[in-house]
Structures are given as C-alpha cells and as structure tokens.
Amino acid sequence: MLKIGKLTDYGILVLDALAQVGAVKQSTEELATATGLTVSTLRKVMKTLVDAGLVIARRGAHGGYKLARSPQQIRILDVVEAFEGPVALTECSQSASDCEIQSSCSLVSGWMGVNELLMQILSRVTLEDVRQQTLSQHLPSTLLDANQRIRLINL
C-alpha cells in the first residue's frame, strides 16, 4: 500500500480549502462545511497544522485560521512530516532504530539513499501542484536511458 495516513490527507484537504479563500480567515465550522469533515476530526487536524506552523490561528471572537504562507511554498513533505513524523522507510532510517539485525545488515546505507530520494521528491511537490494538478496524470512509461537515469538519481 505505502499509504499516507487519512489525517495527513485531511490536512491537505484543509490547506486546499484555506488556499481557496486566500487571506480570509476561516472558522472551524466554515472549514467543516467546506471539507465535509466533522468538527471533532477537524480539531485534531488543525492542531497538527498549527503546531507545524503551516497555518496561523487566531483565537477568541472573530478568530479563525489562515495559511501561514502561499500554496507554492507549502511542500507535501512538510505536511507529511507534520502528521507522521520524519520520513523513514525502514526502521534503521530513524535515529532510534530498534532493528535487531541492524549490526549484521549491509543494506542500511542503501535504504538511506532511497529514503533521501523520496524525501527530495516529496519536497519538490507543493500544495499548489496538487491543487492545480500540475503533475501530468499520464507520465511516460518508457524507461529512461542510462544518462537520464543517473541524472535523476543524482538530481
């Protein structure tokens, strides 16, 4: 599956709704109707988003939420990390690894490379890309030749 959590998904959903209205503050109720989520669920989502500094909250009467920066400056990686912590494909990708066979494993640095690669990709896709469907839906399925491949790997 390699799926992202549903809450992460909801996070993007909220950011999209906020981007839609520009700089206008939105209340939890307004976001609820805009996104179709329940208020309870929204609260959890908003907390994460605020803690991560992706949206700015204003409390009290006439409060509400607005984007902390423009959709072009919000990376998918930011959102994913906000909800799910650092990207770590394998156990040993994390600092506090508890893989029992790590000492005798020769693949640690190999996985690191893949991990880094995916992070680089996710850091280059922005909220705006997802909103505007910048990414072509039908990518060419032909394999790249060796040179292109190296360039892709090494960015």
Footprint of a copy of itself (CB under 8 A): 1-4, 6, 9, 12-13, 16, 35-37, 76, 80, 84-91, 93, 100-101, 104-107, 109-114, 116-118, 120-121, 124-125, 129-140, 143-144, 149, 152-155
Q: Number of helices and strands (H, E) in the chain? A: 7, 2
Query: Which partner from the list DNA, a copy of itself, ligand SF4, none does 104 bind, CB cut-off 5 to 8 Å by kind?
Result: a copy of itself
Q: Are 19 and 131 spatial neighbours (Cβ–Cβ below 8 Å)?
A: yes
Nearest 5°: phi and psi at 116?
A: -60, -45
How many CA within 13 A on the CB side of residue 75?
Answer: 10
- 56: which strand partners? 66
| Interaction between residue 111 and ligand SF4 (CB under 6 A) | yes
Taking the complex as a whole, the smallest distance from the CB of residue 117 to DNA amounts, in Å, to 21
Q: Which stretch binds DNA (CB under 7 A): 13-21, 43-51, 111-119, 121-129?
A: 43-51
Query: Which partner from the list ligand SF4, DNA, a copy of itself, none does 24 bind, CB cut-off 5 to 8 Å by kind?
Result: none
Residues 6+ positions from 97 with CB-CB distance below 8 Å: 91
